[in-house]
Amino acid sequence: MIKKSNENKDLMTNSSVYRDVASKAKLLISLTALFCVACSPEDSDLTEQDRTQDLLVYCSEGSPDSFNPQLVTSGTSYDATANILYNQLVTYKPGTTEIVPSLARSWDISDDGLRYTFNLRQDVSFHTSQVFTPSRSLNADDVLFSFNRQRLSSHPYHGISGGRYPYFTAQSMDQLIKDIRKVNDHKVEFILTRPESPFLSILATPFASILSAEYAEQLNRLRRPEWIDSKPVGTGPFRFERYEPDAYIRFKRFEDYFGDKRRVKNLVYAITPDAAMRFARFSAGECDVMSYPLPVHLRVAQKNDLQVVQTPGLNIAYWAFNTEKPPFHDVKVRQALAMAVDRESILQTVYDRQASLATNPIPPSSWAYNKNVKKIPHSKRRALELLKEAGYENGFSIDIWAMPIQRAYNPNARKMAEIIQQDLADINVDVRIVTYEWGTFLSRVSRGLHHSVLLGWNADNADPNNFFSPLLSCASSVNGNNYANWCDNRFDELILKGRTSSKQSERKEYYDQAQEIFKQQAPWLTIAHANNSVLVQPRVKGFIISPIGNINFEGVTIGLPDQKQPRSQKQESDEVANQ
Amino acid sequence: MIKLPVSANNKAAWAIFRQNKGAMIGAVVLIFILILAIIGPWISPYDPARQFTNKILIPPIWNPAGDFNFFLGTDDLGRDILSRLLHGARLSLQLTFTVVIIAALSGILIGAGAAFLNQTLRSLLMRVMDLLLSFPSLLLAIAIVAIIGPGLPNAIYAVVIVLIPQFVRITQSSISDELNNDYVMAARLDGASSQRLLSHHVWPNITPALTVQLTFSFSTALLDIAALGFLGLGAQPPMAEWGTMLSESRAFIQFAPWTMTLPGLAIFLTVLSINLVGDGIRDALDPRLNR
Amino acid sequence: MITSILKQLGTLLISLLGLTVLTFILSQQSDSPIHQYQSDSAFIQYFEYIQFLFNGDWGMSSIHKRSVLKDFLQHFPATIELIVFAMILAVTTGLALGILASTRRGGWLDNTLMTTSLIGYSMPIFWWGMLLVLLFSLTLGWTPVAGRISFEFDIEPFTRFMLIDTLLHHNKYGFDAFLNALHHLILPAVTLSTIPMAIIARMTRSSLLAVLKSEYIRTARSKGISKQRIIWIHALRNALQPILTISGVQISIIMSGVIITEYIFAWPGIGKWLLEAVSRRDFASIQGGVLALSIIVIAFNLVLDFLSIYLNPRLRRPS
């Protein structure tokens, strides 16, 4: 049974010529069997070959919340906007965490670290849409518009589309940026209130996308300011064509793009929230690139010579104990629970080994990673001793909230919770697994209603601060993503120093100490750093995945179908059973 | 005096039923499934929640890569599928029984009460029941689950509410029919009390219709519970409910088809055998429809 | 006749009342209020709610902040297209099978057909759909896995009925796009039509058999009218009545089925939309979806009732 499907997959991925002919024939057969429609497809101007040639279909995991990345925080929305429709002042070199110029040609940082001056490119044009034809290229006004809309509550566009800029607020940008000045048409200056070493990394994130001030003015005249977020205009490699909610997004190549000229003509996001369905569509050749494959999909894909594009991700999956609630206020209990969990088995079952065991909150690829921190041993005996010391020898019961959706860093929190449930049963801890729909889940967790929670974090910029401040600082326990509600003053001081000092060696020092405290206090059990992976059909050339996980189709092309080669019949045994 | 013909009827009905090949096959399969459901937990090789982490997605033994320790293979967490199916049989059938019994009791009570109501109230009640009957059961269940939240108990309430109207309708209409019959009229003129009328005259005559309805309700309830589990609105993982197992298997249908085919087959066979038995009972009790 | 029409209208009122109360309760579950009410009393709020509904304000979805009514109307054509196509399939095939079986009553063909229809009738369609996908889409590669059309066709949604929209793009793609859309429709439609098809086949057979046994058909036969003609003209016309009656049940089966089918095939219709709304507890959308779908079911039943009153002389006569 399985062998059959393998052979079929080989055929399928091998040549689209075969597929085209075969599908046409089969279509006719199956149709005529059902109807007596006596019409054969007429020859039209475009052949099927032409149409598929310059089309790239990306099976994405959900509908975007908005087409303006300033308004949202979801990766799904960023993937459909930040690197597709827009550009930022600076960006990451594809596949790395290195900052390179984008809309800004170059920049200067003053010695005190308070002034950042950007020289803008002069050859950047905005998209033309049905309602907008730009009369000028990008200049400093656009940069000012994009940031001031988020920054100044007096800005005419501030209140449009809800008036909330969650990422801008979460990064405390309003406190950090004192002023933004236009020096001349192609030079802007950011003045900060304090030195912030991650600032360039922050400007490379989606919320810092540059929108057109001219478009905003025109929409104001049309009295349709909200179109700026739903009928997007940017400078990016693709322009927006159409969005059918829950079905697809269509983009067209932007011919006047200033960057890489190599791109497909039509880019379609086929919205397919269900991972199983996504993989089915991918393996049937209905999409060229598939987002968030499940680990088990990767294994099958590798066996079938499909391209798996993979890189260690800048992410962490963790189990956060709500330290404000008993019994988690007791550090011994936290340590005991951490020891009782067999993380190796989680890596095996949940990640299928497409991840590495996490010891610190930041992944080993970060320069701030502390190698000297020891990993927590897995020992049920030691866990029982600790519980006894803490006065819980008779056990207790806890809730684990498992995030309901699949993320690269946590492909299946539910399964993870079930494994933990089994492990904790051995130390007399009774686990109830709780889950809600994602939006509800997040809002309840933010309000601290949870007992303990399985979550994760995908960095949106490459600076180590992006793990510490948003997830573990005292400020973030009040208003942010610190779901352990953990506030340790020593730790907090260290990460603040790490954030403001400009020398990397000094910063490393502070972060090393912070990681020691974190391990000893155990507000989380760190579980895994997952690889970022995407499945790609062989005909797709030049697809690169970033450690941060953003999707980018700049420079990606569709190759001609491979020449039909006699393919050796691979005798593959059942790939699933064979491990 | 009145019981005699009924039991004669029963004998005749049994004779007809026995000759119906399909119904007999259905009955045998159904009894087999029932036995498995009852003794399942004792004969199942493992705990249905036990995870063999190094035995993930093992195919059933007729596949060359199968493992003799796992007769029907394992799922993606390394849980033994045979054990899960056996526990699932008990769970699914238990739920179905509970749902049908609750629905039937409430439905019959409401229906019997309605038969003695005055004309206007009765027709109002019946209109409401007709309305519920014509309402898509899944849509109703979704609305109910949306109000009270997903989860097994709530899914059960939803299915019960979906099933009740059919029992009300049948009870009410058969009682009304019977009450208008000549012999009941005669008994009534003789001075028989309502209670006596119901238990001695009406009840024996409406049981056939109710029995048929009851059988078909089993298949409806089983399917609805499984469907809600499949859509993630009913039983939640890691429960070994058949519909939930099916829904969990969706991620691997290409490369671990057994995780999908086996629970589905279990649902299908159970429903099919119930329907076969139901057809047989209907034909046996209502010879007019007999071929 | 007038009394029965009045009765129907009475039913309609009761159903709309019950329905709006249900959706009103649903709309009250939301964390963020869907409508801004003037009054504090739930009773008066209900009337305000009705007023909002009449004004076309069905609330905004909680996640995507889109108008619920607009969302519904955008997703609805996909569902209708699937249902209509599946019903055509079910009725034509079901009738044909039923007639075939009844003419060869008791024969092996009759037995096979009836066994098949019992199997179809007992099929859990969520499993059936997955089996079909596994076989035809993933193993044989004959049919697409999901979606309404291949993306190489850039179809602007004028009507949102893909079959119509593709025909409107005829000058661009010829019939290729239309055929492609049909191709995408086959597997979901087959899945959805299975149970109604089985029911229609069984109904047709049994009512045809009942009619064929009746007095006047026997007379007709004795007059030497051919069997084919009797079946086609006399028997079928008489047998259609009970079939029509059961269509009311059909619509509810189809509606339940379409929710599951859309879920399995990622068909961007109302069912999938509603399920997603339930999973994210977006009560504005749930309330709107349940309301709109129910109104459609009620309207359908109403039309059906009128139709059967009109068709059935016995019901027309005042009793």
pLDDT given for residue A115 in this prediction: 94
- Mean pLDDT (chain C) is 85
Span A198-241, pLDDT tens digits: 899 999 999 999 999 999 999 999 999 999 999 999 999 999 99
- Mean pLDDT (chain A) is 84
Question: Worst-scoring range by mean pLDDT, A56-65, B148-157, C237-246?
Answer: C237-246
pLDDT given for residue A561 in this prediction: 54
- Give the type of residue at A32: T
pLDDT given for residue B191 in this prediction: 75
Put simply, the chain B residues between 30 and 69 with a CB less than 8 A from any chain A CB are: 49, 51, 53-54, 56-59, 63-66
A40, pLDDT greater than 50: no
Contact list in C for residue B244 (CB cut-off 8 A) is: none
Contact list in B for residue C294 (CB cut-off 8 A) is: 135, 139
Shortest Cα distance, chain B CAs vs residue C13, angstroms: 11
Distance CA C168, CA C162 (A): 10
Across the range B84-94, mean pLDDT stands at 92
Across the range C147-172, mean pLDDT stands at 90
User: C15-32 b/e with 16+ CB inside 10 Å = b?
Assistant: beeebbebbbbbbbebee
Distance CA C71, CA C79 (A): 13
Q: Which residue has the higher pLDDT, C185 or C61?
A: C185
- Mean pLDDT (chain B) is 84
Span B233-251, pLDDT tens digits: 888 777 889 999 998 888 7
- Residues contacting residue A133 through CB under 8 Å, at least 6 positions apart: none
| Interchain contact, C146 vs A277, CB within 8 Å | yes
Residue of B nearest to A575 (CA): B255
| Interchain contact, B250 vs A574, CB within 8 Å | no
Q: Which residue has the higher pLDDT, A356 or B133?
A: A356
Three-point CA angle C234, C235, C237, nearest 5°: 70
Shortest Cα distance, chain B CAs vs residue A327, angstroms: 26
Span A275-316, pLDDT tens digits: 888 998 998 889 999 998 888 788 777 777 778 888 888 999
- SS3 for chain B is CCHHHHHHHHHHHHHHHHHCHHHHHHHHHHHHHHHHHHHHHHHCCCCCCCCCCCCCCCCCCCCCCCECCECCCECCCCCEHHHHHHHHHHHHHHHHHHHHHHHHHHHHHHHHHHHCCCHHHHHHHHHHHHHHHHCCHHHHHHHHHHHHCCCHHHHHHHHHHHHHHHHHHHHHHHHHHHHCCHHHHHHHHCCCCHHHHHHHHHHHHHHHHHHHHHHHHHHHHHHHHHHHHHCCCCCCCCCCCHHHHHHHHHHHCCCCCHHHHHHHHHHHHHHHHHHHHHHHHHHHHCHHHCC
Q: Which residue has the higher pLDDT, C13 or C78?
A: C78
| Interchain contact, A348 vs B59, CB within 8 Å | no
pLDDT given for residue A101 in this prediction: 95
Q: Which residue has the higher pLDDT, C212 or A70?
A: A70
B1, pLDDT greater than 60: no
A571, pLDDT greater than 70: no
C312, pLDDT greater than 80: no
Across the range A136-155, mean pLDDT stands at 94
Shortest Cα distance, chain B CAs vs residue C123, angstroms: 6
Across the range A452-477, mean pLDDT stands at 88
Q: Which residue has the higher pLDDT, C78 or C296?
A: C78
A254, pLDDT greater than 90: yes
Across the range B124-152, mean pLDDT stands at 80
Residue of B nearest to C300 (CA): B134
pLDDT band at B252 (very low <50, low <70, confident <90, very high): confident
pLDDT band at C313 (very low <50, low <70, confident <90, very high): low
A51, pLDDT greater than 90: no
- Cβ-Cβ pairs closer than 8 A, B with C, add up to 130
Question: Worst-scoring range by mean pLDDT, A539-553, B29-43, B138-152?
Answer: B138-152
| Interchain contact, A8 vs C280, CB within 8 Å | no
pLDDT given for residue A124 in this prediction: 95
Q: Which two tokens stand for residue A150?
A: 């988020």
- Residue of C65, C152, C174 lying closest to A52 (CB–CB): C152
C317, pLDDT greater than 60: no
pLDDT band at A100 (very low <50, low <70, confident <90, very high): very high
pLDDT band at C315 (very low <50, low <70, confident <90, very high): low
Shortest Cα distance, chain C CAs vs residue A312, angstroms: 31
Contact list in C for residue B142 (CB cut-off 8 A) is: 259, 274-275, 278, 286, 290
Strand order in the sheet with A177-184: A104-109, A115-120, A187-192, A177-184
Inform me whether the C-beta atom of residue B226 falls under 8 Å from chain C C-beta atoms: yes
Across the range B57-78, mean pLDDT stands at 86
Q: Which chains touch A (3 or more CB pairs under 8 A)?
A: B, C
pLDDT band at C257 (very low <50, low <70, confident <90, very high): very high
Query: pTM of the prediction?
Result: 0.83
A414, pLDDT greater than 70: yes
| Interchain contact, A440 vs C280, CB within 8 Å | yes
pLDDT given for residue C276 in this prediction: 86
A31, pLDDT greater than 80: no
Across the range A160-182, mean pLDDT stands at 87
- Give the type of residue at B115: A
